[in-house]
Amino acid sequence: MRCPYCGGLDTQVKDSRPTDDSASIRRRRVCPDCGGRFTTFERVQLRELMVVKKSGRRAPFDRDKLMRSVQVALRKRTVEPERIERMVNGVVRQLESQTDGDIPTERIGELVMEGLKAIDDVAYVRFASVYRNFREARDFNAIVGELEAEPEAPPPAPAPARRRKEPQAS
């Protein structure tokens, strides 16, 4: 790992532990050349994924590109960053476990749309408008109609009332 301060290549790991979500490993590093200390976050990659574009061209899967596109769809929406991170991690895990390494762009788009639908309807419509290449207002109407036709999730059941212990008369 290259030192961000001096560019040295021989950095040493001083501490290593999983992050709270266990999706990556946090490493504290020190550079013996300049004494600089810094933190890196490393993800476990199960296999090398290749994206197969509509043109047939292949490109390495880029998790950061996926994260950026999800963040664009969620721009100015009040969604916790942890939820976004969990959704993207879920998409990547599904891709790693369901494929032999070659992923059509359509599969990635469908998984992202499923994830966004569960998080935020507006972000879902935004992403769908780009992914499905909407040309007219009726394209938006169709997808909003699909959302409205789906039954809403029932509200959570109220917690059972706790009974207070009555003082006993002696």
Same domain flag for 119 and 139: yes
pLDDT at 2: 87
Same domain flag for 26 and 99: no
Same domain flag for 93 and 33: no
Same domain flag for 100 and 132: yes
Task: Encode pLDDT of 54-94 as tens digits.
Answer: 899 999 999 899 999 999 999 999 989 889 989 998 998 89
Same domain flag for 38 and 74: no
Asked if the structure places residue 167 within a domain, the reply is no
Asked if the structure places residue 165 within a domain, the reply is no
Same domain flag for 68 and 38: no
Asked if the structure places residue 36 within a domain, the reply is yes
Domain count, the chain: 2
Residues of the chain predicted below pLDDT 70? 21, 44-47, 151-170
Asked if the structure places residue 5 within a domain, the reply is no
Domain that holds residue 25: 12-43
pLDDT at 133: 79
140: left (phi over 0), alpha (psi -120 to 50) or beta: alpha
Residue 115: exposed, middle, or buried by beta-carbon count in 10 A (0-12, 13-18, 19+)?
buried
Same domain flag for 111 and 31: no
Asked if the structure places residue 135 within a domain, the reply is yes
Asked if the structure places residue 4 within a domain, the reply is no
Same domain flag for 38 and 79: no
pLDDT at 151: 63
Same domain flag for 25 and 65: no
Whether the pTM exceeds 0.85: the reply is no
37-43 β-sheet, strand order: 12-18, 24-30, 37-43
pLDDT at 163: 54
pLDDT at 166: 58
Asked if the structure places residue 162 within a domain, the reply is no
Same domain flag for 98 and 22: no
150 is written with which tokens?
Answer: 């789906």
Same domain flag for 117 and 74: yes
Residue 89: exposed, middle, or buried by beta-carbon count in 10 A (0-12, 13-18, 19+)?
middle
Asked if the structure places residue 108 within a domain, the reply is yes
